[in-house]
Structure 1
Amino acid sequence: MPFYDLNVPWSTPNSELPRTLSFLAESYLIEPNADADVCAVGYNVVALNFTITGKLPTNFACAIPDPLPFVVPSKLTVLRRLTLVLTTPVNNAALTQLASSYDILAVRPVDEKSLLLAATSLDSDIVSLDLTQRLPYFFRFKTLAEAVKRGVRFEVCYAQGVGGDAVSRRNLIGNVQGLIRASRKRGLIVSSGAASAGACRGPWDVINLASIWGLGQERGYEALSEEARKVAVTARLRRTSYRSVVNVVYGGEQAAKSDKKAEIREKGIQDVQEKRKVHVLDDTSPAESEKPVSKREQKRRRKAELEKHAETKGSVVTPDHTKM
C-alpha cells in the first residue's frame, strides 16, 4: 500500500519545497541489527496545500501551477489541495466551484460552531484542525461519527509536535489524544504540514509517533495509507461524477468487442431467416409427407379402389367360341 502525505504547504517563492519533496520521496529507514543497511521507504503521493483565509476569491483558478516550476521526483505523484479557513459563512455552491480547480478540498474550523458545520453539511474531503492551540471545546463522538459516515476525514499534522515549542507540543498531544478517544480511532489521517525538510519524518517514524499518541500501529499505518487513499479517491469522484454515483468513462476499448458481438448476432438472425424461407418454399416437407391418415380416409380410399377394380373387371370382353 502506498504512503500519502496530504499536507505540504505551498508558498511562492519557496526554495525549500523541491528539497522537501525530494526528502519525502526518498525517506530512509535503518534496519535494526544491521551494519549500515538502509532501505528507501518514501511517500508515493504528496499534496501541495494552498490556504485561503477570509473571504473567498473571485477567481476560482488553482493557485498552484501545473506543471510545477521545478523538477519533481519521477516516482512521486503530486496533488493540489485547497484549505479554506472557516472564518466567514460559506455555502456548498462556492465550495463546489473551488473543488473543481483542486484535487482535494479541506476546511479548517476555528470554533465549535464551524466544526459542527464542517462535519455535518459542508461538501469537503478533509477537516483539518489546528491542534497546537488550546481548544475551547471538547470533541464529541456524535459529531465526528456523522462526518466519518459522510466520508470526511480528520487530519492530524505532526510537524508542530516535532519542531514547535513546548506549549505547542503539549497542546498537540492532548488534543490528538482527545480526538482519538472521541473518534474511536476511525476516520483519521496523519500528514506532515511541514514547510521544510527538517520537520518531515519517514512513514514508519510517523506510524511509531501515532502509536505513542494512542492511535496504535495498525491504525497509524491505515492513517498514512488506506484512509489517505480514500480521501484522494473520494475527492476525484466528487469532481468527475454526479454525487459520487454516476461516472462517465471512456468506452472506446470495448468498441471492437461489441461490434464483433453485433456481427455474430446479425449473422445468426440471417441464418434463421434463410431457414424459414426454405421451409416455406418446400411443399414436400417431412412434416407434411409423414402426416398420418385417419380411419375414415382409409375406408374412403379402399372403397374407391374396390369400385375402380369392379368397373375394370366388367369391361373385359370374353371370346365367342361358337364361331369357331
Structure 2
Amino acid sequence: MELGYIGIAYNGPIKGVMSDNDRCSISLLLCQSPPRPPQCSTRLTVCVENHSQALALNSGNPILKTYDLVAVKPLDQNALDDACDKSEIDIIAIDFSERLPFRLKQTKVKAAIEVCFFNGFHFIGFVDKKFLEC
C-alpha cells in the first residue's frame, strides 16, 4: 500500500453486556480489490468496566470467535489488572490522549506482554479517536 501498511482492521466497539447482536457483521469486500489488496481483519474493542465483563473475554465466548482480533479498553484499575492477568485477548487499548482512570504498573504491563498474543498494548493518542470510542 502507498503508506507502507500491509493490513488494516475494521473495528467494532462495544460497551456493556455482549449479546448475539455483537457478532461480527463487518464485510471485507473493500479488501478484495486488485492489484495488491491489503490484509484485512475484523477487530472487536470491548470497553470493560468491571470484573464480570472481563471474565467474558475468553476463548469459549462464541461472539469473540467471529472476530479476527479482540481488544479490551479497560476503564478502571480492576479491568486493567484482569486484562493483564487473565483475559484471553489480542490487544489492550489505552487512550493516552485522556487522563487514565488507572495506574500502569510495571509488573502488570510485563504480565500483559507475556500473555497477549498479538501486540500487547496498542497506544492511542495520535490517531482518530473514533477508533476507540466507547
Range of TM-score over shorter length:
0.7 to 0.9
Provide the rounded CA distance (Å) in 1 between the counterparts of 2:114 and 2:108: 10
Provide the rounded CA distance (Å) in 1 between the counterparts of 2:104 and 2:113: 14
Pick one of 41, 45, 56 that aligns with 2:7. 45
Identity between Structure 1 and Structure 2 (%): 25
Provide the rounded CA distance (Å) in 2 between the counterparts of 1:107 and 1:93: 12
* Greater gyration radius: 1
Higher relative contact order (CA 8 A, sep 6+): 2
Task: Give the AA of the match of 1:64.
Answer: I
| 1:149 to 2:111 alignment | no
2:66 aligns to what?
Answer: 101
Q: Aligned pair count?
A: 126
Cα distance, 1:135–1:61 mapped onto 2, change above 3 Å:
closer
Pick one of 30, 37, 41 that aligns with 1:79. 41
Please list every run of 5 or more consecutive structure 2 residues that lacks an aligned counterpart in the other structure.
Answer: none
Where 2:71 maps in the other structure, the secondary structure is: strand
Structure 1 residue 150: Cα displacement: 1.3
1:241 aligns to what?
Answer: none
> Is 2:31–2:37's contact at 8 Å kept on the other side of the alignment?
no
Bigger fraction of residues in helix = 1
Provide the rounded CA distance (Å) in 2 between the counterparts of 1:95 and 1:112: 25
Cα deviation code 1:149-175 (max 9, x no counterpart): 213501012434xx78xxxxxxxxxxx
2:126 aligns to what?
Answer: 159
| 1:140 to 2:105 alignment | yes
Where 1:142 maps in the other structure, the secondary structure is: helix
Provide TM-score, normalisation by structure 1.
0.35
What are the residue-to-residue correspondences of 1:181-220 with 2, within 5 Å?
193=131
Where 1:146 maps in the other structure, the secondary structure is: helix
Pick one of 70, 81, 86 that aligns with 1:121. 86
> Is 1:50–1:63's contact at 8 Å kept on the other side of the alignment?
no
Pick one of 9, 15, 21 that aligns with 1:59. 21
Cα distance, 1:128–1:95 mapped onto 2, change above 3 Å:
farther
Bigger fraction of residues in strand = 2
Please list every run of 5 or more consecutive structure 1 residues that lacks an aligned counterpart in the other structure.
Answer: 1-24, 28-41, 165-192, 195-324
Cα deviation code 1:249-295 (max 9, x no counterpart): xxxxxxxxxxxxxxxxxxxxxxxxxxxxxxxxxxxxxxxxxxxxxxx
Structure 1 residue 135: Cα displacement: 1.7
Task: Give the AA of the match of 2:64.
Answer: A
